[in-house]
Amino acid sequence: MEPARLVQGNEACVQGAIAAGCRFFAGYPITPSTEVAELMAERLPRLGGKFIQMEDEIASMAAIIGASLCGAKAMTATSGPGFSLKQENIGFAAMCEVPCVVVNVQRAGPSTGGPTAPGQGDIMQARWGTHGDHPIVVLAPYSVRDTFDLTVAAFNCAEDLRVPTIVLLDEVIGHMRERVELPGQSEVRVVDRRRPDPSRTAPEDFVPYAHTPDLVPEMADFGSGYRHHITGLNHDERGRPFASPAEVDRLVRRLNGKMSLAAQRWGLFQEVATADAEVLVIAAGSPARSAKEAVRSARQAGIKAGLLILQTIWPFPAVKVADLASRARVVIVPELNLGQLVGEVERYACRGRGEPRVVSLTRVDTELFPPAQIYEALREVR
C-alpha cells in the first residue's frame, strides 16, 4: 500500500492505468477529463512511455489503436462531445479486436451541455455508440479507490478479451478528492494479451482471427514476425476481406460472444445489505454514493433496504439483478439522466404482474442526488 493521501478521481485513473502497464496515451483536452491527459503528459515519458496530444478525438482513438497493435497498452480520455467523435474508431477496435481503454468522464447534457456539471447521459452511448453489433465492456467507478481498481480492471479485461473497454466516470467521481490508500505496484494483478509463441507457432501457421473455442485468438505485435492483414471490413480467419456469408456470420457471432465471457470474468458489482432487502436500490457511479448513505439511514429507520452497486454496466449484470430483484418488492434506480439504466433493470428484474415495482429516479438539472432524496423514495415505497 502507498501511504494514504488526498487523491482526485482523474488522478486515481492515471495511477491505475500506469499500474496496469499503460505506456501510451493519446488525447485531446476536454473538461472534465483534462487532468488525465495532463498527468499522463507528465508521467509517461518519465516511465519510458509516450504521450501525444492529437489534433482531435478521432485521431486520439486512432493513435491508441496503432500503438496497441505495436504491443503497447494504450489509453485515451475524453468527455461527452469527444466521446461521440471516438465512436467510429471504437468500432474499428471492436471489429479488429484491438485491446484499448477509453476513459469517458461524463458531463451533463446533450451537445456542449454542462462541461463542469455531472451527468450519466452516456450509458447507452457507451454500449451502442458505434454502429453495428459489437462487443464492448463498460466499467463505472463510484469512488476514487474504485476508479483506480476499475481502471486496472479495464486494462486487464481489454487484454484478456481483446475488446475496447470503457471506464465511464462522471464529473463528480473524476473531480472529487478522497483520502485513499492506493495499492503499490506489487499488489496489482496485471493481465497481458496472449501472443503467439514462436516455439509453437510458425509465422506461416499463424491464424490471426482464428475462431478458437475460447473466442479470443492470440495477438501478434507488429514487427514480431507474424505479418498479417488487419481490416475493418468483414474478414475471414486470416484477416482477409474475402469472407463468405457463413464466415461473416461466424465472425460477428464470435466477436459478440465475448460479451458472455466478459459477464463471467469481468462482471463486477458490490452489495450493501442485500441479503434480506425488500427494497433494493440499483445504482452506478456517483448516485451509488448517495444511495449508500440513504440505505444506511433507511436501515436505521427499520426499512429493509439494500443496494446493488453496478461496477460493470456492460455487459449488464443480468443474472445478479434478476437474483436480487426476485426477492425484492420494489427496485429503485437513481441515475443522472432520464432513465437509461432503469430500462435494463426492468428487462431483467421483472417477474411479471408488475413484480417487483421498479421506480425510476432521474435528474438532469446538473445537480447530484442528495442522499435524502433517495431516502425519501425508500420511505415512500416501503
Partner 1 sequence: MATARDYLLSDALPHIWCPGCGHGTILGALLRAIARIDPPKDDVVMISGIGCAGRAPGYLDFNTLHTTHGRALAFATGVKLASPERRVIVITGDGDAAAIGGNHLIHAARRNIGVTTICFNNSVYGMTGGQYSPLTPLGAFATTAPYGQVEPAFDLCELARAAGASFVARGTAHHAVALTDLIYQALQNDGFSFVEAISQCPVSYGRRNKLGNAAQMLRWQRDNTVNVKAAAKMTPEQLQGKILTGVLHHAVRPEYARSYEQLVARLGAEREGKS
Residues lying near partner 1 in the complex (CB under 8 A): 24, 26, 45-46, 48-50, 52, 54-56, 58-60, 62-72, 74, 88-89, 92, 222-225, 227-233, 240-241
- Nearer to partner 1 by Cβ, of 4 and 222: the residue is 222
Q: CA–CA separation, 173 vs 266, rounded Å?
A: 21
Shortest Å distance, C-beta 239 to partner 1: 9
- Nearer to partner 1 by Cβ, of 240 and 296: the residue is 240
In DSSP notation, 279-344 reads EEEEE-SHHHHHHHHHHHHHHHTT--EEEEEESEEES--HHHHHHHHTT-SEEEEEESSSSSHHHH
Burial class (CB in 10 A: 0-12, 13-18, 19+), 6: exposed
Shortest Å distance, C-beta 142 to partner 1: 32
Nearest to 258 by CA among 308, 309, 217: 217
In DSSP notation, 50-76 reads EEEE-SSHHHHHHHHHHHHHTT-EEEE
28 and 44 Cβ atoms separated by less than 8 Å:
no
Residue type, 258: K
Shortest Å distance, C-beta 240 to partner 1: 6
Q: CA–CA separation, 352 vs 235, rounded Å?
A: 42
- Nearer to partner 1 by Cβ, of 63 and 167: the residue is 63
- Nearer to partner 1 by Cβ, of 99 and 356: the residue is 99
Shortest Å distance, C-beta 206 to partner 1: 12
Q: What would the grid cell of residue 375 be?
A: 431516502
Give me the count of residues in the chain.
382
Shortest Å distance, C-beta 60 to partner 1: 8
Reported as half-sphere exposure (CB side, CA atoms, 13 A), residue 306 has a value of 21
Tell me how crowded residue 246 is: count the other CB atoms within 10 A of its CB.
8
Give CA 11 to chain center in angstroms. 17
Q: What would the grid cell of residue 330 be?
A: 420494489
Residue 157 has phi, psi (to 5 degrees) of -65, -45
Q: CA–CA separation, 270 vs 160, rounded Å?
A: 22
- Nearer to partner 1 by Cβ, of 234 and 360: the residue is 234
Cell 421483472 belongs to: 350
- Nearer to partner 1 by Cβ, of 42 and 367: the residue is 42
DSSP secondary structure letter of residue 224: S
The three-state secondary structure class of 309 is: strand
- Nearer to partner 1 by Cβ, of 49 and 356: the residue is 49
Shortest Å distance, C-beta 303 to partner 1: 52
Nearest to 227 by CA among 195, 253, 204, 244: 204
Shortest Å distance, C-beta 201 to partner 1: 15
Shortest Å distance, C-beta 39 to partner 1: 15
- Nearer to partner 1 by Cβ, of 110 and 225: the residue is 225
Shortest Å distance, C-beta 319 to partner 1: 35
- Nearer to partner 1 by Cβ, of 110 and 203: the residue is 203
